[in-house]
């Protein structure tokens, strides 16, 4: 379950930012996770409940913004939503495309308690 390592990395980021700001804890955290990021949301929630105990994130309110996967076909320039990483262009059937969004996995913001 790589979701545990993801949560532990988020805890590290929160602890570093809390120390930089001389804060006590995190009040709120916002995450952006793309549909193609390879994160199983149920596993992330399960890992979160264990990994944040006794950390600056223990009592933080968590908001997760899901980013839908979007691509642009390199052959016909059609922009479309992806449901899987290997989806073809629905307009021309080409597999040559640029993924524009949907692979994100980042801490968008932290609200700290001072």
pTM: 0.85
pLDDT of residue 2: 87
Which residue segments constitute the domains of the chain, with CATH numbers given?
2-113 (3.30.2320.80)
> Is the pLDDT score of 100 beyond 90?
yes
Q: What is the pLDDT of residues 20-40, one digit of tens each?
A: 999 999 999 999 999 999 999
Q: Nearest to residue 47, comparing CAs of 73, 93, 55? A: 55
């Amino acid at each position: 379950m790589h979701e545990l390592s993801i949560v532990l990395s988020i805890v590290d980021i929160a602890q570093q930012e809390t120390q930089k700001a001389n804060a006590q804890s995190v009040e709120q955290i916002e995450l952006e996770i793309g549909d193609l990021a390879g994160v199983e949301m149920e596993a992330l929630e399960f890992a979160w409940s264990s990994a944040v105990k006794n950390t600056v994130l223990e009592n933080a309110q968590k908001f997760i913004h899901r980013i839908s996967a979007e691509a642009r076909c390199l052959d016909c320039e059609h922009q479309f939503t992806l449901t899987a990483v290997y989806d073809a262009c629905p307009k021309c059937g080409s597999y040559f495309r640029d993924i524009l969004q949907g692979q994100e996995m980042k801490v968008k913001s932290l609200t700290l308690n001072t």
